Amino acid sequence: EIVLTQSPGTLSLSPGERATLSCRASQSISSSYLAWYQQKPGQAPRLLIYGASSRATGIPDRFSGSGSGTDFTLTISRLEPEDFAVYYCQQYGSSPITFGQGTRLEIK
Amino acid sequence: QVQMVQSGAEVKKPGASVKVSCKASGYTFTSYGISWVRQAPGQGLEWMGWISAYNGNTKYAQKLQGRVTMTTDTSTSTAYMELRSLRSDDTAVYSCARDYSVDTTMPGYWGQGTLLTVSS
């Protein structure tokens, strides 16, 4: 199975700053089938990005995804207070679907 | 709008079974697959498997093979996940999620989650 490793584990930033989250795969992900989710406490995950770089419906354009092969990045251009949460990457190109361990984005 | 509404919290003893339901609305049920994902307390997301609501084909996580069964009832637009031989480390929030689009198995629309507690 494809193992996804996210870094950093925790990212401490202030509102208005730029956030860069990384997701590295143990092998190449076919067709860039890489997604990013945001999860807040007590809530279900929310799909942000799919196909490595396409924003899901209703996602603000401050969220962007990039990368291919084994290295992927989620960028939040200017952090809003509601963006502080846990972020997971996920690959859905091969079975089993796998998730990264998550990056916690906290207010500095 | 797409809605996935799950059954309520469950408390089970080790060795028992649980069946969680997920009722879908707001779209054509048989056009999309449904994944099941669980999250143990304070932990990350774990994919359990996927079922096609069109033909019932399933894919299961290897670690759960033999203990999990996913089914659908197209007459009620409901998906089910049954987990048997429960252990304490099965304690988690179990979520169903509809595929985001017809051409992927990527979870896009999530239910609210069902807390399963396994304790003697």
Q: Which H, E and C letters describe A24-65, residue by residue?
A: EECCCCHHHCEEEEEECCCCCCEEEEECCCEECCCCCCCEEE
pLDDT: which is higher, A101 or A30? A101
Residue A27 pLDDT more than 90? Answer: yes
Q: Which letter does DSSP use for residue B45 in this model?
A: -
**Which of B34, B39, B45 to mutate: most A Cβ within 10 Å?**
B45
Closest partner residue to A47 (CB to CB) among B44, B62, B108 is: B108
Closest partner residue to B100 (CB to CB) among A39, A56, A97 is: A56
Q: Say if CB A92 and CB B106 are below 8 A apart.
A: yes
Q: Say if CB B3 and CB B24 are below 8 A apart.
A: yes
Q: What share of chain B is helix, strand, coil (3-state, %, to 5)?
A: 10, 50, 40
- The label of the residue with tokens 């799919």 reads A50
**Which of A1, A40, A95 to mutate: most B Cβ within 10 Å?**
A95
Q: Say if CB A4 and CB A25 are below 8 A apart.
A: yes
pLDDT digits (tens, 9 = 90+) for A40-78: 999 999 999 999 999 999 999 999 999 999 999 999 999
Q: Do A97 and B108 touch (CB under 8 A)?
A: no
Give CA–CA dist B118/B93, Å, rounded.
11
Q: Do B45 and A90 touch (CB under 8 A)?
A: yes
Contacts of B34 (CB under 8 A, 6+ apart): B4, B22, B24, B50, B51, B53, B70, B72, B79, B96, B97, B98, B99
Q: Which A residues, 42 through 71, put their C-beta within 8 Å of a C-beta on chain B?
A: 44-47, 50, 56
Residue A31 pLDDT more than 80? Answer: no
Structure tokens, A57: 């419906």
What is the distance, to the nearest Å, from the Cα of residue B46 to the centroid of all Cα atoms in its chain?
11
What average pLDDT does range B50-59 have in this prediction?
95
Q: Do B100 and A88 touch (CB under 8 A)?
A: no
What average pLDDT does range B69-73 have in this prediction?
98
What average pLDDT does range B16-28 have in this prediction?
98
